[in-house]
């Protein structure tokens, strides 16, 4: 299971429709559980760092490491093989504190560009679907 904790407003439904398209294709252990919080609540929640050693926490942040789709697939596949639940944090407009980034197992940057959190949700979903397809050896991903 992949738990996605997303901050920020829900604003419109365009991103939800795009995410749903990828989500319906995913199979265990790549299935998704969404949890939404406004940015202030998410920051307070993360101050207490509710994650355990059985979680592999990925923090999406432009100050993180830029990796390929294959590297992302390998990263979460390894977490699953190690018996971990993958938790992906998507921040709101102000991102995450240094403390949150330091506690995460991996800080993932999509690019040096900054994206709105709604678009980041869609990007996480597409890359997660792609990761599953890479792990299966399908032809969805071309190298």
Domain positions in the chain: 2-136
Distance CA 140, CA 138 (A): 6
The label of the residue with tokens 């790549």 reads 30
Nearest Cα residue to 115 out of 93, 88, 96: 93
Q: The CATH number of 2-136 is which of 3.40.1280.10, 3.20.20.70, 3.30.300.30, 3.10.129.10?
A: 3.40.1280.10
Query: In this structure, are residues 123 and 17 in contact, taking their beta carbons and an 8 Å threshold?
Result: no
| % of the chain at pLDDT higher than 70 | 98
pLDDT score for 10 = 67
Mean pLDDT in the chain? Answer: 92
How does strand 85-90 pair with strand 106-109? unpaired
Q: Please give the average per-residue pLDDT across 106-124, as a whole number.
A: 91
In this predicted structure, the answer to whether residue 134 has a pLDDT above a threshold of 90 is yes
pTM: 0.94
| pLDDT tens digits for range 77-112 | 999 999 999 999 998 878 899 999 999 999 999 998
- Residue 119 burial (CB count, 10 A): 13
Q: Please enumerate in sequence order all residues whose Cβ is within 8 A of that of 120, keeping only pairs 6 or more positions apart, or say none.
A: 60, 90, 110
Query: In this structure, are residues 123 and 90 in contact, taking their beta carbons and an 8 Å threshold?
Result: no
């Amino acid at each position: 299971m992949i738990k996605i904790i997303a901050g920020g407003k829900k604003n419109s439904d365009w991103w939800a429709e795009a995410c749903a398209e990828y989500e319906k294709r995913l199979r265990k252990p790549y299935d998704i559980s969404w949890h939404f919080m406004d940015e202030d609540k998410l920051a307070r929640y993360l101050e207490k760092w509710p994650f355990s050693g059985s979680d592999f926490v990925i923090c999406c942040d432009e100050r993180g490491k830029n990796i390929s789709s294959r590297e992302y697939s390998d990263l979460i596949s390894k977490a699953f093989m190690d018996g971990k639940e993958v938790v992906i944090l998507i921040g709101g407009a102000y991102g995450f504190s240094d403390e949150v980034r330091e506690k995460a197992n991996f800080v993932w940057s999509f690019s040096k560009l900054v994206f709105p959190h709604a678009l980041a949700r869609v990007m996480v979903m597409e890359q997660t679907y792609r990761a599953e397809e890479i792990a299966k050896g399908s032809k969805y991903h071309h190298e």
